[in-house]
């Protein structure tokens, strides 16, 4: 007989739903620059859950009213 393996408990983490995403490649007609558009959808967020990360673009200044950096 083999000894019983100790059971490991699953990690307890907050579920935020199934994320869905789309990536679209575009070309700016004015100056012929390529750019990517990321569309991210998390439709099953629970009430009161705040994402841990926020993605900023190069030309977007950080908001002084940002709630994600103040909640930690």
SS (H, E, C) the chain: CCCCCCCCCCCCCCCCCCEEEEEEEEECCCCCCEEEEEEEEECCCCCCCCCCCCCCCCCCCCCCCCCCCCCC
Task: Quote the pLDDT of residue 66.
Answer: 55
% the chain with pLDDT above 90: 0
Domain regions of the chain by residue span = 16-46
Tell me the pTM: 0.34
For the segment 49-58, the average pLDDT, to the nearest whole number, is 70
The pLDDT tens digits of the residues spanning 6-40 come to 888 877 766 656 667 788 888 888 888 888 888 87
* Termini Cα distance of the chain: 50
Task: Quote the pLDDT of residue 35.
Answer: 85
């Amino acid at each position: 007989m083999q000894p019983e393996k100790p059971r490991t408990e699953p990690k307890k983490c907050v579920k935020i739903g199934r994320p869905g995403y789309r990536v679209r490649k575009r070309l700016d007609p004015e100056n012929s620059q390529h750019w990517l558009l990321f569309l991210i959808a998390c439709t099953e967020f629970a009430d009161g859950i705040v994402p841990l990360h926020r993605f900023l673009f190069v030309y977007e200044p950080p908001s002084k009213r940002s709630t994600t950096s103040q909640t930690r």
